[in-house]
Amino acid sequence: MVAIEQDRKVTQLKTAAMTETTDTPTEHHVDLAVPGYHGQEVELGRETVGNVRCDNAFMVAENVNVYYGDNHAIRDVTLEIGKKQVVALIGPSGCGKSTFLRCLNRMNDTIETARVTGNILLDGTDIYSKQQDPVALRARVGIVFQKPNPFPKSIYDNVAYGPRIHGLAGDRSELDGIVHSSLERAGLLKEVKDRLEEPGTSLSGGQQQRLCIARTIAVNPEVILMDEPCSALDPIATARIEDLMDELCEDYAIVIVTHSMQQAARVSRRVAYFHLGYLVEVDDTDKVFTNPQHKLTEDYITGRIG
């Protein structure tokens, strides 16, 4: 919190000396002038500023476009997600963060009108290729949704569902072990260990969200996508989830959508700022928060947008 305040001051100091984002437009390149938030026009180019590449890239999105019917929701986004790192997606509401996130494990396949172009590689293989089974993909790339959505089954069955369908546990005791450790890591075990047979829907909103996180990590995915996982949580539970992310990112890649700058600053190694479907800026978290390259990013993180 304090760090952010300081960051803001730094940012404001640097505003005067801001380098204008002047990406040289190529001919097939449609530039879009969007109204800025202080009256002046801000150029929103197709080129993302900052650094979309990273070392040790595990998931690579190249020139991804997503259309919902005629609605062009994601415009030519290129982004690499490295192993053992947390990437935070930030941006105003409706800018396409969830949409981009859902591309990464092909959840957009389930939306009739959605169409995805471009390449997304997971560990070098194209996840949108014909050979790729979305079922296998989703076991490797887990997702936690914006709204908690536990199954109307017992808490135990909620967490055990993924391991069961993928046959991850040899016997009942192994399954018990997975369920308990997943609940523990999601910071929920203490609250529910005596009522594992009660329906998951009987939990509070925040508990449900942690149940959903437990359910996702029970499958042991390689990449975890989290869509505002803490929007329904109190600060204690949020801290727990953030600790969990710290812990998980030692093994996995994590992509998190968040509306909280503080959270992004706390948990992520890199930050990607989306605006109207464009990926405006990506860089290391401290760079983005201390020295944003793009006017829109700066406006957003200093609280002048959204």
Ligand X SMILES: Nc1ncnc2c1ncn2[C@@H]1O[C@H](COP(=O)(O)OP(=O)(O)OP(=O)(O)O)[C@@H](O)[C@H]1O
- Would you tell me which residues interact with Mg ion (CB under 5 A)? 98
Quote the CA–CA distance of 141 and 19 in Å, as a whole number: 37
173 contact partners, CB below 8 Å, separation of at least 6 = none
| 93, 110, 131, 173: which one binds ligand X (CB under 6 A) | 93
**CB-wise, 216 or 263, nearer to another protein?**
216
Q: Residue 216 binds what, of ligand X, another protein, Mg ion, none (CB under 5 to 8 Å, by partner type)?
A: another protein
Q: Which of residues 142, 187, 206, 292 is near another protein by CB under 8 A?
A: 142
Residue 70 corresponds to which tokens in the numbers above?
């005629």
Interface size with another protein, residues (CB under 8 A) = 27
Range in contact with ligand X (rule: CB under 6 A) among 91-99, 125-133, 190-198, 241-249: 91-99
Q: Which is nearer to Mg ion, 98 or 285 (CB)?
A: 98
Measured from the Cβ of residue 277, the count of other Cβ atoms closer than 10 Å reads 22
Q: How far is the CB of 6 from another protein (least distance, A)?
A: 38
User: Between residues 98 and 216, which has the closer beta carbon with respect to Mg ion?
Assistant: 98
Estimate the crossing angle of helix 205-217 against helix 235-248, to 10 degrees. 10
Under rule CB under 6 A, residue 34 binds ligand X: no
Give Cβ neighbours of residue 185 (< 8 Å, ≥ 6 apart): 214, 217, 244, 247, 248
Could you say which residues in the range 122-141 bind another protein, by CB under 8 A?
Answer: 135-139
Nearest to 181 by CA among 132, 228, 248, 233: 248
- The 10 Å CB-count burial string (b at 16+, else e) for 19-30 is eebeeeeeeeee
Nearer to another protein, 3 or 136 (CB): 136
What does the alpha-carbon distance between residue 251 and residue 127 come to, in Å, rounded to a whole number? 21
Of residues 175 and 212, the one with the C-beta less far from ligand X: 212
Q: Which residues bind ligand X (CB under 6 A)?
A: 68, 71, 73, 91, 93-99, 111, 113, 146
